[in-house]
Structure 1
Amino acid sequence: MTHQVRAVVARGKGAPVSLETITVPDPGPGEALVKIEACGVCHTDLHYREGGINDDFPFLLGHEAAGVVESVGEGVTDVAPGDFVILNWRAVCGQCRACLRGRPWYCFSTHNAKQKMTLADGTELSPALGIGAFAEKTLVAAGQCTKVDRAASAAAAGLLGCGVMAGIGAAINTGNVGRGDSVAVIGCGGVGAAAVVGSNLAGAAKIIAVDIDDLKLDNAKKLGATHTVNSKDADPVEAIRDLTGGFGADVVIEAVGRPETYKQAFYARDLAGTVVLVGVPTPQMKLELPLLDVFGRGGALKSSWYGDCLPSRDFPMLIDLYLQGRLNLDAFVTETIALDEVEKAFERMHRGDVLRSVVVL
């Protein structure tokens, strides 16, 4: 049996997305069919549309999603029909060298559904991050479904599927922010704002938000930043040092993904401090640093993949904090939109008007 559903498709590089009817198969072994309730509009979806990830068009966009499992295939035991789940793009294999060493958050062999969803004419679709959730239903590997408390808002919960988890995890998992630490976050879009929240959850004493947009800085302050720096008006390195007794921050999280801002992060940290790169650079970008400075400043230079999260561990914990009122995921939902408004949401994203537009079905 197959399912005919509405979905948002990117057919060509830079072309506006279209709302089309696609065909979704019933789940095979190890797969799950999920009825989508909400899906956030992420910069990564725009990167797919612009051909910045690869050129495997047409793409089925959307990946920051929550919904209900409708059916499962043979051998699936971790989730069942009726479960409320957040979708993830790290379905760990349990067998690669990272998993066998007890580090499944680095899994080097994550997997997706084996069957393909298609356009009406049979053309195979490439689902964004192996998910493809700007759709009424999608087919994923069962391991991409993480069961959480049904009491959570789908619009808020789905954001843990990518950007919010990336930012929170960059602070807590990768940066190991601890009680009393000083943290600077460079770039306060959705991921950077989440890094502010993560630093606050971890007990940081000083959280310095850096951006060129006063609106984003105001929002970061509401989410827990203790200080803000507009880097159009002030040298961010000097400002961060001034706010940390002249030393620099214990942890600096770079959420932009550019060589210029990475250098700022590098020099804005204290001796033996940590730099976390969670912003995603483009393939053409190059970084040049004096090797003596890399050696002489000590500490750690880290990249954060998906906030180094383990969905089965982190998603339920963060949803519990949300339901307890200790994690304001609702603050990331700037607006809710319909499935046919994704292209307009991309335009608002370009202007910096939103933390997240969320498609609600």
Structure 2
Amino acid sequence: MRAAVVRQPSGPFEIEQVRDPEPAAGEILVQVAACGVCHTDLHVHDGSVPFPFPCVLGHEVSGKIAAVGDGVVDLRVGDRVAAGFIMPCGSCRLCVAGREELCERFFAHNRLNGTLYDGRTRLYDADGGPLAMYSMGGLGELAVMPELAAARIPAGLPLADSAIFGCAMLTAYGAAHHVAALQPGESVAVVGAGGVGISLVQVARALGAAQVIAVDLAADKLAAAQRAGAGAVVDASAVDPVAAVRELTDGRGADVVFEAIGLPATFRQATEMAADGGRCTMIGIAPAGRLGEVEITRLVRRKLQILGSFGGRPRTDLAELMRMTLAGLLDPTAAIGRRFSLDQVDEAYGLLARGEIVGRAIVEM
């Protein structure tokens, strides 16, 4: 098959012939229809998040099942599926407790070593050299993943566009529902109107937020946030974003603030936008070792909550996101701003790094 391989930190995404992968027990082989272009891949690509090289990135996919390994229970060859970037093992302490977004085997094997849970990768180059997998290594024509990472796509939903359920939408839903416990009637500020931010706007509206404010520096991204359902936008290049959010919320601040960038400055701004007793839910990934600041006295006296959120729970949340979409509450297609071919992967990530992608881009195979 063909796949986009990165051989060294900050190196190009080169299209190579890679050996066709095969699923082991409990795994499925998916013929990839589309893979999302996510900013988290850039942190791995430039080495700011430690990960082995050479590797195949891409962690947000949809496609059709081409083969299944022994012991696969629910999915069948030919099923259309979307796959979450978190790939739960289903058996570790946290998976059993229903906290699969913190799956111990996922972090110990995949995120540290680029393998699946038997300690082996499923990807090898034409010479037989191993290629590390970031999640399922979705920037290729075929991808192997645990069955528990994937959910069947209902009839009526587009195959390629459903890729973004696996990270952008899953991350947004996990943050809003599981972590922030967003309640109907609450006010929300979303700092960062990229792929995840646009998804957060949609999810917050779907969960009943009374007011959704999007904050960004780019006019085109703010316009996209408005199209996604933001009732107000703040251009942080022109005004003080903290003061603007407070003004839009009658001086109180937002009940829930989502930070979807991962910068120290926006981390602090998010805490200052929150209302008394507010929840600051931090989603943006930063380079390893980067710190965020918060004013200690305000944190204590105003009883702020600072909450970290990493993805969602594929075994339940993917199906719920698809149900919400069929009900007309979400629109993944509206979040997709650009489409690329596999041969254009290097261009796609270059545009993403320069902030020139509005919404979520996908690579269609």
State the 1:63 CA deviation. Answer: 1.6
Once the two structures are TM-superposed, the CA of residue 320 in structure 1 deviates from its matched residue by 2.4
Q: Is the CA contact 1:113–1:141 (under 8 Å) kept in the aligned structure 2?
A: no
1:229 partner amino acid: V
Residue aligning to 2:231: 226
What amino acid maps onto 1:347 in structure 2? Answer: G
Matched, 1:78 2:74: yes
The yes-or-no answer on 1:352 pairing with 2:356 is yes
- 1:1-361 equivalent positions in 2, closer than 5 A: 5-110=1-106, 112=116, 114=118, 115-116=120-121, 117-129=123-135, 131-306=136-311, 309-349=312-352, 350-361=354-365
User: What SS is found at the alignment partner of 2:104?
Assistant: coil
1:226 Cα deviation (Å)? 0.8
Contact 2:37 2:58 in 1 (8 A): yes
The answer to whether the 8 A contact 2:60-2:85 is kept is no
Q: Give the match's secondary structure for 1:25.
A: coil
Post-superposition shift, 1:13? Answer: 1.4
- How many residues are aligned here? 354
Which whole-Å CA distance do the structure 1 matches of 2:47 and 2:98 have between them? Answer: 35
Q: CA contact under 8 A between 2:246 and 2:253: conserved in structure 1? A: yes
The alpha carbon displacement at 1:54 in A equals: 2.0
Letter of the 1:20 partner, please give it: E
Per the TM alignment, residue 55 of structure 1 is displaced from its structure 2 partner at its CA by: 4.3
Q: Tell me which moved more, 144-153 or 175-184.
A: 144-153
- Specify whether residues 255 and 338 from structure 1 end up closer, same or farther in structure 2 by C-alpha distance, changes over 3 A only: same
The alignment's C-alpha RMSD in Å is: 1.8
Instruction: Indicate if the aligned counterparts of 1:38 and 1:66 stay in contact, CA closer than 8 A.
Output: yes
- Matched residue type, 1:332: A
* Cα distance change on mapping 1:326 and 1:53 into 2, 3 Å: same
CA change 1:326–1:275 in 2 (3 A) is: same
Amino acid at match of 1:319: M
Q: Is the 8 A contact 1:339 1:360 kept in 2?
A: yes
Which residue number in structure 1 is paired with residue 112 of structure 2? none
Deviations 1:130-158 (A, max 9, x none): x1111111222222222221432122211
> 8 Å contact 2:58–2:138 — kept in the other structure?
yes
Change (3 A) 1:168 1:143: closer
Q: Give the counterpart letter for 2:355 in structure 1.
A: R
Structure 1 residues 101 and 337 mapped into 2: Cα distance closer, same or farther (>3 Å)?
Answer: closer
Aligned-partner residue type, residue 42 of structure 1: C
Distance 2:91 2:357 in 1: 43
Give the distance between the partners of 2:300 and 2:198, measured in 1 at CA: 30
- With normalisation by structure 2, the TM-score equals 0.92
What is the rounded CA distance, in whole Å, between the counterparts of 2:99 and 2:12 in structure 1?
A: 40
Amino acid at match of 2:129: T
- Tell me the distance in 1 between the aligned counterparts of 2:24 and 2:190: 43
Asked if structure 1 preserves the Cα contact closer than 8 Å seen for 2:90 and 2:148, the reply is: no
For the 8 Å contact 1:175–1:276, the answer to whether it is kept is yes
* Paired residue type of 1:312: R
Query: Is the alpha carbon distance of 1:104 and 1:47 closer, same or farther for their aligned partners in structure 2, counting shifts above 3 Å?
Result: closer
The Cα shift of 1:64 comes to 1.1
Residues in 2 aligned to 1:214 and 1:286: alpha-carbon distance in whole angstroms: 28
Render the CA deviation track for 1:269-325: whole Å, top value 9, x for unaligned: 11111000011121232223343222112132101111xx21121112212222333
Distance 1:75 1:353, change over 3 A: closer
- Which region of structure 1 is more displaced relative to structure 2, 289-298 or 64-73? 289-298
**Cα deviation digits, residues 183-242 of structure 1 (max 9, x gap):** 111111111111111111111111111111111111111111111111121111111111
Shift of 1:113: 5.7
**Residue type matched to 2:201 in 1?**
V
The unaligned stretches of length 5 or more in structure 2 are 110-115
